[in-house]
Amino acid sequence: MKRFTEDPRFAGIMPFEKKIWLSSPTMHGDEQHWVDDAIRTNWVSTVGANINEVEKQIAEYIGVKYAVALSCGTAALHLATKLAGEKLYGQARPNAGTLQGHKVFCSDMTFDASINPVAYEDGDAIFIDTEPDTWNMSPEALEKAFELYPDVRLIVVAHLYGTPGKMEEIRRIAEAHGALIVEDAAESLGAKYKLNGEWVETGTLGNYNCISFNGNKIITGSAGGMFLTNSVEDANKVRKWSTQSREAAPWYQHEEIGYNYRMSNIIAGVVRGQMPYLEAHIAQKKAIYERYKAGLSDLPVRMNPFDAEKSQPNFWLSCMIIDEDAMAPQVRGEQDYLYTTEPGKSSPQEILDALSAFNAEGRPIWKPMHMQPIYRTHAFITAEGNGRGSSNAYIAGSGMDVGADIFRRGLCLPSDNKVTPEQQDVIIDIIHRCFR
């Protein structure tokens, strides 16, 4: 990183003394109180008052009847996906997944935890390209996917970086094709969406809905997640599956495969302590987004977009994307990269390296799932149709899709809610200097 600290473009900038994180936990003291309470009362288990209380508080906040506290968002997504599979295709044998032999349409630009449960349940994920307006699943590409695969009955959709996707359109398409939706609101707790003229929370928009309390999320338990539903049967089923599927017998009796996915009462204590600060965290993240937006407005870049009429993001991560004609050459391999720099231009990798040299953490945009080595053999559908093999030596064009393009030109900025305006101004200055 000497290259940057000795580069005359960055003369006079000192590395941050304390690292500026992408998004780290922000504790307030109440968390300690509820953790101590669990220990003092000896409810150091997967039952206890903290669990009951956070389930109640989250259900009320989100506006659903039931919230089931689980060990992580991935566990919630797994059980949501399994519920959908059972509903659609019936109970599977103990050694088989509920989606065996079935295709599932999935958000492409998301964290792999959204869609790995499709594989856990032996399903075949088909990735749906991203739209440029909110960086979420493209309804046009989803329509195209139903033309190509009319038998599909399940859609897994995420809200990237806390920005709600085009859920009205996606729900309409799902309904027209008799498909169910698993909603991954892991990154978007507290984000609102206008559905048929009414503001609702993300986490209410699918048939099966999930949130996460991972350490980097808008509020955290250090880990943890929840399944959200209005169906008492679904809530009870998830509770049962998450506690090893015990039957009501005096001994351990099992009719179904089970999981150890319940949230700990200690973790729930941390979540309980964070709950009063959810709105404050969202306000801080929004201020960070707006400061970046204003500070970067004279550069050939844009912030991650959202639909201000139809959504109120939680602004979990602030991101930027570089205009095509201001992109300096950048090449990414599987695990390494190269770039050059040119006056007036820069690239995500150069900016990320510069931030890192001055002790600030950014991150590349989540690499789309259809580009991941593990999912390369899976179908990928764009608004034009089949996104695989759409270019060749005789057809002009790069075969570039929206997701790959955002990954190439975009990056996540340091978005920790403890960053001060002064520190943010230094980050903005560093980014400006990358374009010199």
Work out whether 158 is an interface residue with ligand PLP (CB under 6 A): yes
Work out whether 105 is an interface residue with ligand PLP (CB under 6 A): no
User: What is the spatial distance between Cα 102 and Cα 228, in angstroms, rounded to a whole number?
Assistant: 24
Touching ligand PLP, residues 214-273 (CB under 6 A): 214, 225
Work out whether 274 is an interface residue with ligand PLP (CB under 6 A): no
Work out whether 314 is an interface residue with ligand PLP (CB under 6 A): no
Rg of the chain over CA atoms, in angstroms? 22
Work out whether 184 is an interface residue with ligand PLP (CB under 6 A): yes
Candidate segments 72-80, 127-135, 254-262, 340-348, binder of ligand PLP by CB under 6 A: 72-80
Query: Is 423 exposed, middle or buried, given 0-12, 13-18 or 19+ CB atoms closer than 10 A?
Result: middle
Angle at 118 between CA 188 and CA 80, to 5 degrees: 55
Amino acid identity of residue 414, one-letter, is P
Work out whether 319 is an interface residue with ligand PLP (CB under 6 A): no
Q: Contact at 8 Å (CB) between 312 and 407?
A: no
Closest distance between ligand PLP and the C-beta of residue 294, in Å? 27
Comparing CB distances to ligand PLP, the nearer of 73 and 414 is: 73
Candidate segments 70-78, 167-175, 253-261, 269-277, binder of ligand PLP by CB under 6 A: 70-78
**Interface residue with ligand PLP, options 46, 50, 74, 134 (CB under 6 A):** 74
User: What is the spatial distance between Cα 192 and Cα 199, in angstroms, rounded to a whole number?
Assistant: 6
Angle at 230 between CA 225 and CA 232, to 5 degrees: 90
Work out whether 313 is an interface residue with ligand PLP (CB under 6 A): no
Q: Sign of dihedral through CA atoms 13, 15, 18, 20?
A: positive
Comparing CB distances to ligand PLP, the nearer of 113 and 128 is: 113
Candidate segments 169-177, 179-187, 294-302, 369-377, binder of ligand PLP by CB under 6 A: 179-187
Q: Which long-range contacts (C-beta less than 8 Å, at least 24 apart) are formed by 386-391?
A: 386/148, 387/127, 387/129
Closest distance between ligand PLP and the C-beta of residue 111, in Å? 4
Candidate segments 8-16, 110-118, 279-287, 423-431, binder of ligand PLP by CB under 6 A: 110-118
Torsion of CA 5, 6, 9, 15, to 10 degrees: 20
**Interface residue with ligand PLP, options 114, 138, 265, 314 (CB under 6 A):** 114
Binding track over 194-223 against ligand PLP, x by CB under 6 A: ------------------x-x---------
Closest distance between ligand PLP and the C-beta of residue 289, in Å? 18
Candidate segments 105-113, 141-149, 234-242, 401-409, binder of ligand PLP by CB under 6 A: 105-113
Work out whether 139 is an interface residue with ligand PLP (CB under 6 A): no
Comparing CB distances to ligand PLP, the nearer of 20 and 75 is: 75
Candidate segments 148-156, 184-192, 275-283, 350-358, binder of ligand PLP by CB under 6 A: 184-192
Token duo for residue 167: 């859920």
CA distances from 387 to 20, 99, 229, 273, 384 (A): 38, 24, 34, 46, 8
Work out whether 119 is an interface residue with ligand PLP (CB under 6 A): no
Tell me which residue has its CB nearest to ligand PLP. 73
Work out whether 143 is an interface residue with ligand PLP (CB under 6 A): no
Amino acid identity of residue 135, one-letter, is W
Terminal-residue alpha carbon distance, the chain: 18
**Interface residue with ligand PLP, options 110, 264, 311, 312 (CB under 6 A):** 110
User: What is the spatial distance between Cα 319 and Cα 411, in angstroms, rounded to a whole number?
Assistant: 6
Which residue has tokens 């729930």?
268
Closest distance between ligand PLP and the C-beta of residue 119, in Å? 14
User: What is the spatial distance between Cα 208 and Cα 227, in angstroms, rounded to a whole number?
Assistant: 7
User: What is the spatial distance between Cα 32 and Cα 280, in angstroms, rounded to a whole number?
Assistant: 19
Which residues form the interface with ligand PLP (CB under 6 A)? 72-74, 77, 110-111, 113-114, 158, 184, 186-187, 212, 214, 225
